[in-house]
Chain A
Amino acid sequence: MTEELDLTGQDSDAGSEEVVLTPAELIERLEQAWMNEKFAPELLESKSEIVECVMEQLDHMEENLRRAKKGDLKVSIHRMEMERIRYVLSSYLRCRLMKIEKFFPHILEKEKTPHEGELSSLSPEELVFAKQYMANTETYLKNVALKHMPPNLQTVDLLRSVPKPDLDSYVFLRVKERQENILVEPETDEQRDYVIDLEEGSQHLIRYKTIAPLVASGAVQLI
């Protein structure tokens, strides 16, 4: 599908590495990020480079289509492709926004502490959005209910009231790179923790907490 594109396939990632991706690889990465985000219970790392590159691609395609001959069959096919890519991108961003709105106190709290080599899970625009959402909700609650209450009850600790993401929920995954010695912690007191190996290409149903770092590094793919 994307091999039919008559634009030159080069896009350089923003950031320290100058990796050249073909459009097909870029779309594949977007789809992987989209599926991971959809099935993970918590907000994953922000892939803003992929978002930017895909937006650039869509703009290029739009321009090419405008210059192309009308009524050509290729035009419809490319338009369809563009719609699909736009859907995947929108769905990915919507999923992230929903998670931000759902877990906003915990996410903002995590952002306050300095990272120890970890990448932020929010892009700068998402951070602004999250802060505004928090301020908005707090002002609303204060004006409507809390200011009528006695002074010692006026603050609501959002960090405790808003539920945390459930990291113990089970997810399906497919292993992309062979992993050894993954420690699985016991759920109940009767079980003991055991160690498993993950073969490449195998599929598992496992608690998210166990494999969270593997999702971040890209060694497994949630399905």
Chain B
Amino acid sequence: MIYENKIKRNEVKSGGQSDLIPTIKFRHCSLLRNRRCAVAYLYDRLLRIRALRWEYGSVLPNALRFHMSAEEMEWFNRYKKSLATYMRSLGGDEGLDITQDMKPPKSLYIEVRCLKDYGEFEVDDGTSVLLKKNSQHFLPRWKCEQLVRQGILEHVLS
């Protein structure tokens, strides 16, 4: 359709057939509309991939990675990198990780139940906790937040 349109347009220019102009205009409009739909679809996918970075963190689960094209992976990696550069520049030595602290903190320590086997997990004062399936622990909130988001721990609200 694109090729035909080009030929038609050349004909009009050279042949001066002005009665074909409405056809060309119509075709051009439909081309523009098709392009808009394609770009809208791709952009919407990009926005969802961006949301994945904020939800899952830097490493995506394999199931999701299979659904992304190579260029989308490249976009994701570059977005990750520029976000990391920004966070590191925020101040202090290491910067501020703004993907943490998504909700206002209610208490310092939270009760969590382990959903999957994770292994050893070290807490601030050096003690390590063994995270086995269905074991419950009382841990500091900021340490657990990432694991809760990844689905390894579950916040127990009793």
Contacts and interface: CB of A to CB of B under 8 A. Distances in A.
Interface of A: 51-52, 55-56, 58-59, 76, 79-80, 83-84, 86-87, 89-91, 93-94, 97, 101, 125-126, 128-129, 132-133, 136-137, 139-141, 143-146, 149-150, 153, 156, 161
Contacts of A126: 86
Contact of B89 (A125, A133, A145, A161): A125
A144 B71 contact: yes
A144 B69 contact: yes
B26 interface: no
Contacts of A58: 92
Interface of B: 2, 6, 31-32, 35-36, 38-39, 42-43, 46, 50, 69, 71-72, 74-75, 78-79, 82-83, 85-86, 89-92, 96, 98, 100-101, 103-105, 107-108, 141-142
A145 B2 CA distance: 14
Contacts of A137: 43, 46, 75
B96 A149 contact: no
B2 A150 contact: yes
Most chain B Cβ neighbours within 10 Å, of A52, A55, A97, A125: A125
Contacts of B75: 136-137, 139-140
Nearest to A136: B78
A143 B42 CA distance: 11
Contact of A129 (B46, B71, B85, B96): B85
Contact of A87 (B78, B85, B105): B105
A86 B38 CA distance: 40
Given A128-B86, A132-B82, A136-B78, A153 B35 contact: yes
Given A83-B141, A136-B78, A141-B39, A51 B90 contact: yes
A83 B79 CA distance: 27
Given A56-B92, A80-B107, 14 more contacts: A51-B90, A55-B92, A56-B91, A58-B92, A76-B108, A79-B108, A86-B96, A132-B78, A133-B82, A136-B79, A137-B43, A149-B2, A150-B2, A153-B35
B90 A125 contact: yes
Nearest to A96: B98
A145 to B, nearest CB: 5
A172 to B, nearest CB: 20
A97 B107 CA distance: 27
A70 B155 CA distance: 26
A140 B2 contact: no
Contacts of B6: 150
